[in-house]
Amino acid sequence: MTTIYLDNAATTALDPEVVNVMHVSMLQNYGNPSSTHQLGRKAKSAVETARKNIANMLNASAPEIIFTSSGTEADNLILNNAVLNLGVTKIITSKIEHHAVLHTCKHLEKTQNIALNYVKIQSNGNVDLQDLEYLLQTSKEKTLVSLMYINNEIGSILPLQEVGEICKKHNALFHSDTVQTIGHYPLNLQEIHIDFLVASAHKFHGPKGIGFAFFRKGFGVLPMLHGGDQERGARSSTENVHGILGMEKALKIATENLQKDKNYIESIKLFFISELKKLSKDIYFNGTSGDLDKSSYTILNVRFPIKNSMLLFTLDMAGIAVSGGSACQSGSNKGSHVLQEILLEEEEENTSVRFSFSKYTTKEEIVTTIKKLSTLFKK
């Protein structure tokens, strides 16, 4: 049975060119970057060249990039630093953030007694910027705003430039989880007022287990991991050389083909939307995910006019890999915290599925998926 993979917001397939780069590195570049002999210096040089190249792709400087094991670790490193190292006593975030941010903020509220405020979310999943302004206007404490650029469940896009300016106006630090953005949208860090962001290579056809945090120049970094002086003292642990080189290659490919891939994936998403609308007029797209101008071109969160607790399982048995959006099909008692925040109770009862696309998704796969979906409910 052929597998149709429509869960690219969860992870992406490795690009063959990335596999090749990593394979060569594994065979030839096995020195420890902390060693002073030739093989160690060779590995260190490769890591630092990758750091410089990644920084250049974002119009940042190499020292602003800290390699981590994931986007989750990068979020944790930034949020902990904000409180434990930079004097932040209040964090403003939203209830639809990734758990890497939400759970870390709750932990800091409990252990460090910080004030934690949640900005209002509109019914379409967008952040209420007027409420953000109000929260900052009424805050006399040193504040960090943490709002994701693209939501991983519904694909809503934060107006990053505008939020950055609001934070600047009120002297607040600004962190954004950009895991769903890096490799898919251009970012010029000299043009945006943002202090911290994160990336995870496996979201743009790179390897798992490698990512990075961006710390704007001027902020010291207090390590969470101790035991060495790697990453200029910011993260103790032998560098994942092969993963770093794979991430560099993946981001290079993504950056060079950004517009071409965007145009192609947009056409896939539009085709899927049009075919879904033919199935039923009662199919809805959660948040703004059905609007390409207001949501990521890689994510479509679909609410079907049915209650089918076995839908994900049925699709999986048919070889179609997707993610769920509510408790009945995710196996969780809590369900999607994002959909709970933006949907009415009766809307949330219906089955929602997140479909997410990549440059490897084909129109033929969409046709097959639509055919399978058409057998699951009446028009």
What amino acid positions are annotated as catalytic residues? Answer: 328
CB distance 300 to 155 below 8 Å = yes
Structure tokens at 15: 């690009």
Does residue 67 sit in helix, strand or coil? Answer: strand
Task: Tell me the C-alpha distance between 104 and 108, whole Å.
Answer: 6
**What's the distance, CA 235 to chain centroid?**
21
The tokens for 314 are 């049925």
Helical (H) or strand (E) element with 265: helix 258-279
Q: At which residue do the structure tokens 């048995």 appear? A: 317
Closest-CA residue to 337 (of 13, 101, 134, 3)? 101
Element (H, E) at 93: strand 90-93
User: Residue 184: which of 57, 284, 280, 281 has the closest Cα?
Assistant: 57
CB 177 within 8 A of CB 75: yes
Within 10 Å of residue 257's Cβ, how many Cβ atoms? 13
Distance of CA 328 to the CA centre of its chain: 24
Query: Nearest CA to 276 among 376, 179, 192?
Result: 376
